Amino acid sequence: MGFISTSIARKVAMALSGLFLVFFLGQHFVINISSVIDPDTFNSWSHFMGTNGLVQFLLQPVLIFGVVFHFIMGFILEYQNRKARAINYKSYKGNSNSSWASRNMLISGVVILAFLGLHFYDFWVPEIVHKYIETHPEDPSRYFPELVHKFESPVRVGLYTLAFILLIFHLWHGFSSSFQSVGFNNKYSRALKGFTRLYAVLIPLGFVFIALYHHFNQLPH
Ligand code: HEM
């Protein structure tokens, strides 16, 4: 990777792409929680996101690039950290030196990536087929029933929940350390760390809630 050649630059790039994804996750949560509060709002927000040219042809490709970039960079960083640790040092004491979350970013990241594969297959692929391949006429009220129907299967709800729990661990370490990587260090650091930890727990649990809520509130067929 000639364009990001120092390890500091790679860490900063990792942090910035992670912060971008955290921001996406927040807005994704707001749209999805509206499906629990008011289906009409969910339908109209989804319709806007699904038909607006700027969202479709600029923000969506940027988001997909962000996901792929974060994933590839994560692997490169992990590989280099392992290489730098010349001998797998004997004094490594596991949890007395660092948290489970920080030592297992690759594992939680790979589970989240696998979830994204399933999630794209569930929502994104049918959406692309619906709009650009089968070219159905627009129907702004279809999003809510489609979403509820997706959570009918207990297997899918179980897999989603597992991924959301690993997302807690991934964000627990990743979100707070991203500010360190970009050099944010001042009197607000402690408060910011508290906020990142709260976000890391509440947003994924919120997603769990959405999945369970729709699972137990299926619409009549
Ligand atoms: C209960 C939880 C969730 C629900 C109900 C949900 C719902 C949706 C829906 C309806 C779409 C389709 C958007 C479209 O029409 O293109 C979507 C796309 C997407 N979701 Fe989720 N989502 C959930 C959790 C998550 C989580 C935890 C992540 C990230 C870790 C995530 C990442 C994405 C991404 C990257 C896309 C593609 C966005 C795009 O380019 O359109 N989602 N989600």
Hey, where are the domains in the chain?
Answer: 7-84+103-216
Tokens 């120092």 belong to 6
Q: How far is the C-alpha of 214 from the C-alpha of 217, rounded, in Å? A: 5
Distance (angstroms) between ligand 1 centre and the Cα of 119 equals 7
Q: What percent of the chain has pLDDT over 70?
A: 93
pTM greater than 0.75 (yes/no): yes
- Judged against a pLDDT cut of 70, whether residue 107 lies above it is answered with yes
Please report the pLDDT score of residue 109 as a whole number.
96
Please report the pLDDT score of residue 98 as a whole number.
80
Judge residue 15's burial from the number of C-beta atoms within 10 Å of its C-beta, 0-12 exposed, 13-18 middle, 19 or more buried. Answer: buried
CB 168 within 8 A of CB 200: yes
Please report the pLDDT score of residue 203 as a whole number.
98
Q: For a pocket test of ligand 1, which of 124, 152, 153, 166 has the largest count of ligand atoms closer than 8 A to its C-beta? A: 124
CB atoms within 10 A of CB 65: 12
88 pLDDT band, cuts 50/70/90, is: low
Greater confidence (132 vs 200) lies with 200
CB atoms within 10 A of CB 11: 18
CB atoms within 10 A of CB 150: 18
**Residues at CB less than 6 angstroms from ligand 1:** 25, 28, 32, 50, 60, 63, 67, 112, 116, 119, 123-124, 127, 147, 167, 207, 210-211
Please report the pLDDT score of residue 150 as a whole number.
96
Q: What is the DSSP letter of 130?
A: I
CB 35 within 8 A of CB 66: no
Greater confidence (1 vs 100) lies with 100
CB 211 within 8 A of CB 157: yes
Q: How far is the C-alpha of 208 from the C-alpha of 187, rounded, in Å? A: 34
What's the whole-number mean pLDDT along residues 119-145? 93
Which among 164, 123, 124, 121 has a CA at the least distance from the CA of 146?
Answer: 123
Q: For a pocket test of ligand 1, which of 42, 119, 168 has the largest count of ligand atoms closer than 8 A to its C-beta? A: 119
Distance (angstroms) between ligand 1 centre and the Cα of 11 equals 26
List own/partner pairs for 62-66 with CB under 8 A and 24 or more apart.
63/24, 66/17, 66/20, 66/21, 66/24
